[in-house]
Amino acid sequence: MGRYAVERVKSGIPGFDDLIQGGFPKGTTVLVTGPTGSGKTTFAVQFAYKGAELYNEPAVIVTLEERAQDLRKEMATFGWDLERLEREKKIAIVDGVSAVVGLPSEEQYVLEGNLNTEDFLRYIYRVVKAIDAKRLVIDSIPSIAFRLHDESRIREVLLQLNTILLEMGVASILTTEAPDPGRGKISRYGMEEYIARGVVLLDFVEKEVELKRYLLIRKMRETKHSMKKYPFEITEEGIVVYPSGEVY
Amino acid sequence: MGRYAVERVKSGIPGFDDLIQGGFPKGTTVLVTGPTGSGKTTFAVQFAYKGAELYNEPAVIVTLEERAQDLRKEMATFGWDLERLEREKKIAIVDGVSAVVGLPSEEQYVLEGNLNTEDFLRYIYRVVKAIDAKRLVIDSIPSIAFRLHDESRIREVLLQLNTILLEMGVASILTTEAPDPGRGKISRYGMEEYIARGVVLLDFVEKEVELKRYLLIRKMRETKHSMKKYPFEITEEGIVVYPSGEVY
Amino acid sequence: MGRYAVERVKSGIPGFDDLIQGGFPKGTTVLVTGPTGSGKTTFAVQFAYKGAELYNEPAVIVTLEERAQDLRKEMATFGWDLERLEREKKIAIVDGVSAVVGLPSEEQYVLEGNLNTEDFLRYIYRVVKAIDAKRLVIDSIPSIAFRLHDESRIREVLLQLNTILLEMGVASILTTEAPDPGRGKISRYGMEEYIARGVVLLDFVEKEVELKRYLLIRKMRETKHSMKKYPFEITEEGIVVYPSGEVY
Amino acid sequence: MGRYAVERVKSGIPGFDDLIQGGFPKGTTVLVTGPTGSGKTTFAVQFAYKGAELYNEPAVIVTLEERAQDLRKEMATFGWDLERLEREKKIAIVDGVSAVVGLPSEEQYVLEGNLNTEDFLRYIYRVVKAIDAKRLVIDSIPSIAFRLHDESRIREVLLQLNTILLEMGVASILTTEAPDPGRGKISRYGMEEYIARGVVLLDFVEKEVELKRYLLIRKMRETKHSMKKYPFEITEEGIVVYPSGEVY
Amino acid sequence: MGRYAVERVKSGIPGFDDLIQGGFPKGTTVLVTGPTGSGKTTFAVQFAYKGAELYNEPAVIVTLEERAQDLRKEMATFGWDLERLEREKKIAIVDGVSAVVGLPSEEQYVLEGNLNTEDFLRYIYRVVKAIDAKRLVIDSIPSIAFRLHDESRIREVLLQLNTILLEMGVASILTTEAPDPGRGKISRYGMEEYIARGVVLLDFVEKEVELKRYLLIRKMRETKHSMKKYPFEITEEGIVVYPSGEVY
Amino acid sequence: MGRYAVERVKSGIPGFDDLIQGGFPKGTTVLVTGPTGSGKTTFAVQFAYKGAELYNEPAVIVTLEERAQDLRKEMATFGWDLERLEREKKIAIVDGVSAVVGLPSEEQYVLEGNLNTEDFLRYIYRVVKAIDAKRLVIDSIPSIAFRLHDESRIREVLLQLNTILLEMGVASILTTEAPDPGRGKISRYGMEEYIARGVVLLDFVEKEVELKRYLLIRKMRETKHSMKKYPFEITEEGIVVYPSGEVY
Ligand SMILES: Nc1ncnc2c1ncn2[C@@H]1O[C@H](COP(=O)(O)OP(=O)(O)O)[C@@H](O)[C@H]1O
Ligand SMILES: Nc1ncnc2c1ncn2[C@@H]1O[C@H](COP(=O)(O)OP(=O)(O)O)[C@@H](O)[C@H]1O
Ligand SMILES: Nc1ncnc2c1ncn2[C@@H]1O[C@H](COP(=O)(O)OP(=O)(O)O)[C@@H](O)[C@H]1O
Ligand SMILES: Nc1ncnc2c1ncn2[C@@H]1O[C@H](COP(=O)(O)OP(=O)(O)O)[C@@H](O)[C@H]1O
Ligand SMILES: Nc1ncnc2c1ncn2[C@@H]1O[C@H](COP(=O)(O)OP(=O)(O)O)[C@@H](O)[C@H]1O
Ligand SMILES: Nc1ncnc2c1ncn2[C@@H]1O[C@H](COP(=O)(O)OP(=O)(O)O)[C@@H](O)[C@H]1O
Ligand SMILES: [Mg+2]
Ligand SMILES: [Mg+2]
Ligand SMILES: [Mg+2]
Ligand SMILES: [Mg+2]
Ligand SMILES: [Mg+2]
Ligand SMILES: [Mg+2]
């Protein structure tokens, strides 16, 4: 096994790959965490969308907090035309909300309301195969967890999810909620970060009376990476990181 | 799908729309959160009242913390004549308190004491249709939650509520309680903010020995928005935001 | 409905009414909260006593933390002769302690030991009618709550209590405990303040090695009010607020 | 009822009575609280011992944390000869420990191991009558509480205890534990201070690398009292308060 | 009972006895508490070892966190030859670990795996008698507690333990864990310190980037004692306290 | 027993052994703790790998958070060829993940999915014997704990584990999670550090907007050790400690 064999997966986030020696190590599951509105969904979808559009790596997006149609509309504000890439079989969106809330769905990929981990993984596996996906996004872990009705099993489920994603060889982004990162709580269940191979924190810092966004790579296995806080913005083209900017 | 297709809904709060590029993105559910007395009810009712009065967008107000008649009286101190707009079918108030506390109600729209999520949503749907409402206010989430007698289901219920409101196409404001925003707890259950598409925090800051009101947009999907803390006041005409003011 | 129709109820606390445009808005339930010894009982009884004595508004005092006779004796140290006003039917004290602790009572108004919300409210209603009371004091909410043997129902009970007091049209003061207001916990159950229409916080601030009393109006619906911290004292005539004083 | 009728009970603590207009108001239950080693037991026993010795007011000491014989020995280090006063029927010590720990006791007054509130109060009543006690000490509340095997009943028990002690007309001191007064937790169960009529906090403050003792009267009904922090010492004659000293 | 009758027990810790007027008051149970690695086991064993070696006071060591053989080996690094003193019947070590972890033991004194308080105390009593011990060490309370399978009984057990040790007349040291003394939590269960007659805290303070050890006597009944923080070291001869040193 | 008999085990971490008088005391179980990404797995595997490679001490690695194959690949980025040493019977990796997540495994050493402590220890014992291991790594304790389905037994299990590892005479490293060491929580369950004989904390400190790694030896029995915070790095050759560097 050679030392520098680590292949890189481009994130599709301008400025970000410079912080991690050119991209995510191949086959990595990355946890994107932060408080509400910090940009997790945008980061994750941008990773999927740009992968499909720029690097020809098809992507599956599992949306568990809003319906596929709502996500599409939202992402259109960044000029991202998910529908087109879906037609081209470069993107597949799995609607994990409609069934739970009891609304009919005309989506191609729909998760059932009553979910167990095995079925969930099997379904995802199928969709990944269907478009030969190289990337996968699951938004979000707490939305899986609350469906389990037994939160004590979360650690087990995350271990399972993480290992199987590794086995599938897709580069994955999972999102989770970090109610208060400044006080050391960087994930909803206090354990998501231990299971994932990479952890990217999106957060705010208050500067005078304004909140400023910053990004911090808390962990990224198989690679050297910066441990600085970098400013980023959510622009009308999506997330842009400023590797040379100042946070404070 | 074009990028700048986002339609705007005027908030009816002087000074506020400037912070979010002209108004709420259409079809958005916004969480208004803050500690007691911060102005949540006033913000929400002003949104409904001004919508009906100035922009000809009928509004439904679901009041779960005080009876319709008490709300009307209270809001009259701002010079808002809810009754007139009700007669004109521009406002409908759903009384969600009388039945719970065991008092008779002469209101037209009354929620039963024993509430389940499905009936609740169905009833709201009917009232929305009855006046062809374009706006909806629910004051407050904790008042729904305690009726559920199973608080563990809150996340599911909020997801359901949020999705169905999106489906109905009305612009909605939900309120929740934020016991201590300064310590990162910006909602009663620590999850309301993750489900909503927009989050507006109303809070106090202590300046010398006086509490000053400020407003912060923590999240607003589909739009660029300011992330500053803006001073606002509750005047005798309701809430006024000062986009150029200083909080500290 | 006219805008300036808000009638005022004089608090009977020297200096206080200036902070709220002349008095409590009529028909308001006010929560008086603070740590032990902050003056809640004194504030509440003074409101009742002065109402009856100065403004000819009979008052009911429901005492749930000490017996009527102990309260009378205590209040005599402020020169307040409750007994005289009781004889004149201007004050009625409901003894909510004797039965609970298993002591006989010679009081006219006595609550049973086993209390449920309906009976409690009905009894209070009767006493209010008996002396045609315009004011009501309940000292304290936690003392009701622990009798319920099901603290999860507190929110419901408070909503009920609050709505019915509004319906009865009496101006009410409820007290609750605030173990640590400086850390944002301004009530025992973290929700009393959301149900009440007004919230007055009595607290201490440490200045050098001395505790100083201050008062803050956290919320008062239907009225403009100061949001400053005002010094107050408990003198031998009861509570006196200093609207022009300095807390720090 | 006259305003200045408040009779005073001398505390027997040099320097203390000056802080409360000459002594505890008659018939008061005072909570003495503080962290371990702060001097609660010493304060309480000194109150009982000095009352009996100097003011001819017999006293009952209920010891629930150590056996009567261990307490006697300990207090002898302050030169207090409890045994002599016991022989003179001026002091009665109720041994509340021996039975619980399964040791035989040769004491005259012994509490049974299995305690319920009614028996406990009845027994105390009997001992009070036996020596016609005017003072009573119970050390400590948590030691009663853990015997109840149902800590949710503590509030009820404390209310009962407090009211019956008032009824008996003895001046009482109850002690409780305050794990961390600096963070607002001034009692073990967070409610003892609300039930008592007076609260005296004994605590430490760190000055350079040394802990200094101070005393603060947090509450004292029926009297004006200082709200300063006073230094005190535990000398070889017991507790001495320095009303003119500096804490910091 | 004379005032200066307090006999002293030498601690065997150089520098320590000066802080407490010459030694522990006879018959005292002292709690030694602190975070991991603070020196509790060393302090306790040194007290036992030096007592046996220098003052001819046999000692029993009950080891509940490691086996007797592991403790012996560890303590040999301080040059303490426990085995020799055991042969001379001046030290007896009770192995409280082997049975619990299911390993065979060749020790003379072995606790059974299934422990109840009565048997535990009876066994200790027997070993104390066997070597006519004057000192006793139990390392640690949490290791007893977790064997009880009912942590709610801890207070009762500690009271029992403490009283019976007093009755046996041995000078005892019990150890407990203090996860975070700087935030007021000086014991695992928040109550060990209230039951013990003396409390010695061993802790660290960060000075620049180095942790420094210090010792503080939080409580010591029947004696005057310093309340300063003293630096101490764990040297190759065991613990040494510097009564004239500076902590910061 | 001689005083300087302590044999040393080389850590294989450049710079580290200087801090502990030349290496870990023989037969020590060391807890390596820290937040996510702090380097625990790297530290532990480096200890095993370097032991086998440089000091001819075979090592067993029990991996409970990722599969053996994923660990191998990851560690290859440091140039460590685990496979080669496995072929040479100097390293054995026990795969504790595959069975749990339901994936087939071609590994030689595989733990079953349903684990109990006895079987777990027996299996490890066998593998240790199989390659005559002198070192052992278990990554991580929380991953054992969640399999137990009864977290209250953790203390007992850790005591068992620790004692048996001591008995086996292998030098062991166990890892655990420390969500927030800066606030005193240096382990997941708040007790791992009390059971282990040595505790090494890996953590971050924020310097300007960059996280810096540091290492602190919180406890190491049988040896003198530094108590400073040392900077360290994770380089492309693994962990390097800088004994003369500055953390702040
Ligand atoms: N079109 C847009 N232009 C600029 N900023 C936007 C746009 N759409 C969304 N945002 C920003 O992105 C935020 C939402 O990001 P999102 O990825 O949904 O966060 P999260 O998933 O962490 O809650 C909004 O609060 C807003 O600040
Ligand atoms: N007529 C009025 N004039 C000025 N301020 C008012 C008026 N009515 C209410 N307020 C202010 O509004 C506050 C209540 O706002 P509200 O919207 O009910 O808050 P919330 O719902 O967050 O508890 C009151 O505490 C008071 O400060
Ligand atoms: N006669 C008096 N003169 C001055 N101050 C008094 C008098 N009586 C009571 N106080 C003060 O009032 C406090 C008790 O106030 P109270 O209203 O009972 O507080 P709370 O109900 O918040 O516990 C006492 O602690 C004391 O400081
Ligand atoms: N004879 C004495 N001389 C001086 N100080 C003493 C003497 N006896 C006890 N003390 C002090 O009193 C403290 C114990 O006080 P105590 O009243 O038992 O406290 P608490 O009941 O709050 O735990 C001891 O820690 C010690 O500091
Ligand atoms: N031979 C020794 N020389 C110097 N220091 C030692 C020696 N042995 C142990 N120590 C120190 O003592 C600490 C362990 O003390 P210990 O009494 O076991 O603490 P605790 O019981 O509080 O966890 C070790 O972390 C180390 O710092
Ligand atoms: N090849 C590498 N070069 C430099 N740093 C690396 C390399 N591989 C991993 N790292 C660093 O090591 C960290 C992971 O360390 P790890 O031992 O897995 O931590 P833990 O087990 O505490 O979560 C990564 O976050 C990264 O910062
Ligand atoms: Mg999101
Ligand atoms: Mg409101
Ligand atoms: Mg009161
Ligand atoms: Mg005591
Ligand atoms: Mg120890
Ligand atoms: Mg790891």
Lowest mean pLDDT among B11-20, C113-122, F90-99: C113-122
Please tell me which residue, D185 or D31, carries the higher pLDDT value. D31
- Give the model confidence (pLDDT) of F164-223 as tens digits: 999 999 999 999 999 888 888 899 999 999 999 999 999 999 988 899 999 999 999 999
Distance (angstroms) between ligand 1 centre and the Cα of B9 equals: 18
Neighbours of chain F (3+ CB pairs under 8 A): A, E
Q: What is the pLDDT of residue D59?
A: 98
Helix (H) or strand (E) holding D161: helix D154-168
- Give the model confidence (pLDDT) of E177-214 as tens digits: 998 888 888 999 999 999 999 999 999 999 888 999 99
CATH fold, domain A29-205, is: Rossmann fold (3.40.50)
**Bridge partners, C9 (sequence order):** C24
Distance (angstroms) between ligand 5 centre and the Cα of F14 equals: 24
- Structural contact between residues F240 and F12, judged by C-beta atoms closer than 8 angstroms: no
Q: Is the per-residue pLDDT at C248 higher than 70?
A: no
Contact residues on chain A for F77, CB-CB shorter than 8 A: 3, 6, 25, 221-223
Count of CB contacts below 8 A, C vs D?
95
In chain F, positions 9-48, which contact chain E (CB-CB < 8 Å)?
25
Ligand 4 and D148: CB distance under 6 A: no
Q: What is the pLDDT of residue F30?
A: 98
DSSP E strand boundaries for B96-148? 109-110, 135-139
For residue D2, what are the contacts with CB-CB under 8 A and spacing of at least 6? C76
- C-beta atoms of A177 and B164 within 8 A: no
Helices (H), chain E: 40-54, 68-76, 82-87, 98-101, 117-130, 141-148, 154-168, 192-195
Task: Establish if C3 touches chain B: CB-CB under 8 angstroms.
Answer: yes
Contact residues on chain D for E167, CB-CB shorter than 8 A: 103
Best of A221, A229, A248 to disrupt the F interface (most F CBs within 10 Å) is: A221
- Using a threshold of 3 CB pairs under 8 A, tell whether chains C and B touch: yes
Query: ipTM for the complex?
Result: 0.94
Confidence of residue E151 (pLDDT cuts 50, 70, 90): low
Alpha-carbon distance of F199 to F194, in angstroms, equals 9
Of E167, E184, E185, the CB nearest to D103: E167
How many other C-beta atoms are found inside a 10 Å radius of the C-beta of residue B236?
11
Q: At what angle do helices A68-76 and A40-54 cross, to 10 degrees?
A: 80
Distance (angstroms) between ligand 9 centre and the Cα of D198 equals: 11
Cα of A135 to nearest chain F Cα, Å? 19
- C-beta atoms of C182 and D185 within 8 A: no
**Bridge partners, A54 (sequence order):** none
Please tell me which residue, E148 or E49, carries the higher pLDDT value. E49
Protein residues within 5 Å, CB atom, of ion ligand 8: B 40-41
Alpha-carbon distance of B48 to B175, in angstroms, equals 13
**What is the three-class DSSP state of F240?**
strand
Exposed, middle or buried, B196 (CB in 10 Å: 0-12/13-18/19+)? buried
Terminal C-alpha separation, chain F: 42
Please tell me which residue, D180 or D240, carries the higher pLDDT value. D240
Protein residues within 5 Å, CB atom, of ion ligand 12: F 40-41
For residue B210, what are the contacts with CB-CB under 8 A and spacing of at least 6? C226, C227, C228, C229
Q: Is the per-residue pLDDT at C2 higher than 50?
A: no
Q: What is the pLDDT of residue E154?
A: 87
- Size (chain A), residues: 248
DSSP β-ladder status, D24-25 and C8-9: unpaired
DSSP E strand boundaries for B4-97? 8-9, 24-25, 29-34, 59-63, 91-95
Task: Establish if C104 touches chain D: CB-CB under 8 angstroms.
Answer: no
Ligand 6 and A219: CB distance under 6 A: yes
Contact residues on chain C for B81, CB-CB shorter than 8 A: 1
In the predicted model, what is the mean pLDDT of residues C209-214? 94
Helix (H) or strand (E) holding C94: strand C91-95
- Give the model confidence (pLDDT) of E162-181 as tens digits: 999 999 999 999 999 998 88
Q: What is the pLDDT of residue C150?
A: 67
Of D159, D228, D246, the CB nearest to C97: D159
Alpha-carbon distance of C166 to C160, in angstroms, equals 10
> Which residue, by CA, sits nearest to atom 5 of ligand 4?
E224
Q: Is the per-residue pLDDT at B163 higher than 50?
A: yes
Cα of B67 to nearest chain A Cα, Å? 29
Return the top range by mean pLDDT from D140-149, D155-164, F52-61: F52-61
Distance (angstroms) between ligand 7 centre and the Cα of B44 equals: 24
- Give the model confidence (pLDDT) of B71-87 as tens digits: 999 999 999 999 999 99
Ligand 6 and A226: CB distance under 6 A: no
Q: How many CA within 13 A on the CB side of residue E119?
A: 11
**Bridge partners, C204 (sequence order):** C213
Tell me the backbone φ, ψ of residue D40, rounded to 5 degrees. Answer: -60, -50
Q: At what angle do helices E141-148 and F154-168 cross, to 10 degrees?
A: 120
Q: What is the pLDDT along chain A (248 residues), one digit of tens a residue?
A: 444 567 999 999 999 999 999 999 988 899 999 999 999 999 999 999 999 999 999 999 999 999 999 999 999 999 999 999 999 999 999 999 999 999 999 999 999 988 788 899 999 999 999 999 999 999 999 999 888 766 678 898 999 999 999 999 999 999 999 988 888 889 999 999 999 999 999 999 998 889 999 999 999 999 999 999 999 999 999 999 999 987 76
Helix (H) or strand (E) holding B76: helix B68-76
Alpha-carbon distance of F214 to F229, in angstroms, equals 6
CATH fold, domain B28-205, is: Rossmann fold (3.40.50)
Alpha-carbon distance of E46 to E64, in angstroms, equals 17
**What is the three-class DSSP state of E134?**
coil
DSSP β-ladder status, D171-177 and D29-34: parallel
Contact residues on chain D for C65, CB-CB shorter than 8 A: 159, 194-195
In the predicted model, what is the mean pLDDT of residues D232-241? 97
State the greatest distance between any 2 C-alpha atoms of chain C, in Å, as a whole number.
Answer: 52
- Size (chain D), residues: 248
Percent of chain F with pLDDT over 70: 96
Distance (angstroms) between ligand 5 centre and the Cα of E75 equals: 9
Distance (angstroms) between ligand 3 centre and the Cα of D218 equals: 10
> What mean pLDDT, rounded, does chain F reach?
93
Phi-psi map region of A29: left, alpha, beta (phi>0 left; psi -120 to 50 alpha): beta
Tokens representing F50 are 């370097």
- Structural contact between residues D176 and D188, judged by C-beta atoms closer than 8 angstroms: yes
Q: Is the per-residue pLDDT at E248 higher than 70?
A: no
- DSSP-derived secondary structure letter, D151: G
By C-alpha distance, which of F69, F24, F65, F22 is closest to F48?
Answer: F24
Which of F19, F221, F225, F227 for mutating ligand 5's site (highest number of atoms within 8 Å of CB)?
Answer: F221
Ligand 6, atom nearest to A225 Cα: 27
Identity of the amino acid at D230: Y
Q: What is the pLDDT of residue B154?
A: 87
Tell me the backbone φ, ψ of residue A154, rounded to 5 degrees. Answer: -60, -45
Q: What is the pLDDT of residue F182?
A: 82
Task: Estimate the share of chain D in helix, then strand, then coil, as percent rounded to the nearest 5.
Answer: 35, 30, 40
Tokens representing A170 are 């897709």
Q: What's D21-33 look like in SS3?
A: CCCEECCCEEEEE
Percent of chain C with pLDDT over 70: 96
Tell me the backbone φ, ψ of residue A8, rounded to 5 degrees. Answer: -115, 140
Alpha-carbon distance of B201 to E66, in angstroms, equals 54
For residue A173, what are the contacts with CB-CB under 8 A and spacing of at least 6? A29, A30, A31, A32, A43, A44, A47, A48, A135, A136, A137, A138
CATH fold, domain F8-241, is: Rossmann fold (3.40.50)
Q: Domain segments of chain B: what residues?
A: 28-205
Distance (angstroms) between ligand 4 centre and the Cα of E220 equals: 6
Q: Is the per-residue pLDDT at B98 higher than 50?
A: yes
Q: What is the pLDDT of residue E147?
A: 82
By C-alpha distance, which of F199, D186, D190 is closest to E177?
Answer: F199
Tokens representing C228 are 């400053």
**What is the three-class DSSP state of F197?**
coil
- C-beta atoms of B73 and C164 within 8 A: no
Identity of the amino acid at E84: R
- C-beta atoms of B36 and C166 within 8 A: no
- Give the model confidence (pLDDT) of F53-67 as tens digits: 999 999 999 999 999
Contact residues on chain D for C247, CB-CB shorter than 8 A: none
Q: What is the pLDDT of residue B54?
A: 97
> Which residue, by CA, sits nearest to atom 4 of ligand 5?
F224
Ligand 3, atom nearest to C45 Cα: 17
How many other C-beta atoms are found inside a 10 Å radius of the C-beta of residue E14?
18
Q: Give the CA-trace dihedral at C127, C131, C137, C138, to 10 degrees.
A: -10
**What is the three-class DSSP state of A12?**
coil
By C-alpha distance, which of B93, B86, B12 is closest to B55?
Answer: B12
Alpha-carbon distance of A123 to A130, in angstroms, equals 11
DSSP E strand boundaries for D129-170? 135-139
Of B103, B183, B208, the CB nearest to C167: B103
